[in-house]
Amino acid sequence: MSLNAKAQKRYFLNIEQIHGYYARGDVSPEVLFEFLHQQAESMAEYNIWIELLPLQKIRGYLENLGEFDLDSKPLWGIPFAVKDNIDLAGVPTSAACPSYAYTPQEDAEVVRLLIEAGAVPLGKTNLDQFATGLVGTRSPYGVCHNSFDFETISGGSSSGSAVSVAMGLCSFSLGTDTAGSGRVPAAFNNLIGLKPSKGILSTRGVVPAVRSQDVVSIFALDSVDAEKVFDVVAKQDPDDAFSRKQSELNVPAWGEKPVIGIPDEAGRMFYGDAQAQANFEKSVAQLQEMGYEVKELDFSAWLETAKLLYGGAWVAERYAAIAEFIESTPKDMDPTVEGIIRSATDLSAVDAYRGAYQLQDAIRQTESIWQEVDCFVTPTTPSIFKIAEVEKEPVALNSALGTYTNFMNLLDYSAVAMPSGFREDGRPCGITLFAPAGSDCKLLNLTKQWHPKFVEFAAVNRSPIQKGQITADHHAIPLAVVGAHLTGFPLNSQLLERGAKLLKLTQTASKYKFYELSSRPLLKPGLLKVDDSSGASIEVEVWSMPKEHLGSFLALIPSPLGLGKVELIDGSEVVGFICEPNGLHGAVDITEHGGWRNWMKARAET
């Protein structure tokens, strides 16, 4: 197993990893959710949440979990977030419009299925008001900021749902996707974004945007987790008129290596963004190197269809969803959102029929192309924008973002957005795989194969807090521990007795060797920074230690260990345990295990 694959498997908020921690007793759901809640509160400036659930309410969900049993509850104790246009019983649903808010008595069907499977909600997330926008800036609860670059848009409308996963606050989240709202934020925050086939996930309990085209979407760190969530919620709902069975969809057969379609040169649009163009071209080259046949095809029918969602009569469905509210309370709406939705009043029944005819023509034009390719790959978006740029041109730039997303639901496709690496400016890029309805699992399986080859581990699994964000208060310092002071290990009490609090679980930069020292009786590790390529990322916990107790803590540290600067995977530095080189005589090199927990487990099995 490569270092990247092993490190990815260790990432703390992946579903398998959390279940491993629970099974070993390393951490309890109560401790995990207290930690995540604390982290969420510390990130208020990102405007991720419309309502972060009180700990008391979260504890109620935890009390109902019962015994740890993955057979009956495959998502037991897994944290997730819910876009605030999806009902969570007893919590207001606002659709990012406070005066529209109502408090549902029942969960949306997808939420009910998740909670029944053991998942635990952390809160309701921010969005472009009434799910109208692809930017993440159209909310009275504040602009939701990108997890990589605070000045860059997060993407919308499912902005908070994406950022909550990207910032390490939950394992997965629910969004909605009508025009790209489950894919654009995934691309901008380095996530998997699954846009299921229409009707496969129930939309009962979801505030409609364009009801005939709406789907509930899933954000996750990888396609394995996305598929686990999909398996739980992909159930036909007899009380949802738009629900349908996945088994009844006529999914085309694929060969062992599916043939990949990409837009021809005229259909590759980047609005002058050379970095986005270079990333897509590199992605196509990687597919060819992996042995896939790639065909360039005329993409004009798809691009023309994309214009129908906002430029045609489907805007009237947005108006129909909130007609009474928009006429009685227009002052409470985001001006851009109101302008888009109110434009529907200028449409006629004749316009609706014309749009339907155009769509039927597009369906017929594109049907034959599926005889040549099995699935398509496009950029998820042509470009990415700064918040200030979108504020100057809110409609034009939003429209540009929908170039490769707006047509999907109209033409009845399933799609998965996945990371494709980083631009030269450090911001994420993404590609989207799409195919006819019912291809959801096939696309997820392709993503499982492609994702590790497209993105380096350090880019995929970043630390939950970005560089410069580990800010203990003025009376405490962040402290990294790697061995017996970890949660659940013998010396952790030395931290707790001094009032230290767990900030996060992360990794070092890939510049360290890791050893089991020969001194006894207590087993302990040594962390040594190296200048060559033999180093790796090592799992650490970062704690907030009160300054007044640091001296007494230091007095307990035996030679050859001491405190020094430890570089984390995000490039930041914190105080942490390091080992003097002369203390490594007789030590065992355990770097390949990636952390003390893994080594102790391996040691016990031999």
Catalytic residues: 83, 157, 181
Tell me, what's the pLDDT at 585?
Answer: 82
Q: Give the C-alpha separation, 477 to 549, whole Å.
A: 10
**In terms of Cα–Cα distance, which of 156, 33, 587, 97 is closest to 331?**
97
Least confident of 135-149, 296-310, 394-408, 450-464: 450-464
* pLDDT > 50? residue 465: no
Number of Cβ within 10 Å of residue 266's Cβ equals 11
Half-sphere exposure (Cβ direction) of 270: Cα atoms closer than 13 Å: 18
Indicate the angle between helix axes 315-328 and 335-342, nearest 10 degrees: 120
Q: Which residue has the tokens 């990432």?
A: 11
pLDDT at 183: 98
pLDDT in tens, 258-294: 999 999 999 999 999 999 999 999 999 999 999 999 9
Is the confidence at residue 153, as pLDDT, over 50?
A: yes
For 56, 79, 191, 454, the CA distances from 37, given in Å and listed in that order, are 11, 10, 21, 32
115-119, long-range: CB < 8 A, 24+ apart? 115/61, 116/73, 117/73, 117/74, 117/75, 117/76, 117/232, 118/65, 118/73, 118/74, 118/75, 118/76, 118/77, 118/78, 119/75, 119/78, 119/79, 119/80, 119/232
Q: How confident is the model at residue 521 (pLDDT cuts 50, 70, 90)?
A: low
Tokens of residue 123, six digits: 């809160």
Pair of tokens at residue 216? 């509930």
Domain definitions of the chain by residue range: 3-460, 476-605
Q: Which CATH architecture does the domain made up of 3-460 adopt? A: Alpha-Beta Complex (3.90)
The whole-number average pLDDT for the span 337-358 is 88
Averaged pLDDT, 542-558: 80
Question: Residue 455's pLDDT is what?
Answer: 55
What CATH number does domain 476-605 carry, 3.10.490.10, 3.40.50.300, 3.30.200.20, 3.40.50.10860?
3.10.490.10
- What is the structure's pLDDT at 467? 32
Mean pLDDT of 80-104: 98
Whether pLDDT at 72 is above 90? yes
Model pLDDT for residues 93-127, shown as the tens digit of each residue: 999 999 999 999 999 999 999 999 999 999 999 99
DSSP element (H, E) containing 34: helix 29-42
pLDDT class of 438 with cuts at 50, 70, 90: very high
State the helix-helix crossing angle for 29-42 and 55-63, rounded to 10 degrees. Answer: 150
Residue 506: which H helix or E strand, with range?
A: strand 501-507
Question: In this predicted model, which residue has the larger pLDDT, 464 or 298?
Answer: 298
Contact 155, 380 (CB under 8 A): no
Cα(139)–Cα(26) distance, rounded to whole angstroms? 39
Average pLDDT over residues 30-45: 92
Higher pLDDT, 605 or 231: 231
Tokens (6 digits) for 178 = 């009508």
DSSP category for residue 359: H
Q: Where are the alpha helices (DSSP H) in 167-314?
A: 184-188, 223-233, 274-289, 300-306, 308-311
Give the pLDDT band of residue 12 (cuts 50, 70, 90). low
Cis before 157 (ω within 30): yes
Separation CA 597–CA 350 (nearest Å):
66
Higher pLDDT: 458 or 41? It is: 41
Integer Cα distance of 198 and 178 in angstroms: 10
pLDDT bin (cut points 50, 70, 90) of residue 468 is very low
| Lowest mean pLDDT segment, chosen from 76-80, 222-226, 330-334, 547-551 | 547-551
Give the range among 130-144, 278-292, 464-478 with minimum mean pLDDT: 464-478
pLDDT 10s digits, 156-204: 999 999 999 999 999 999 999 999 999 999 999 999 999 999 999 999 9
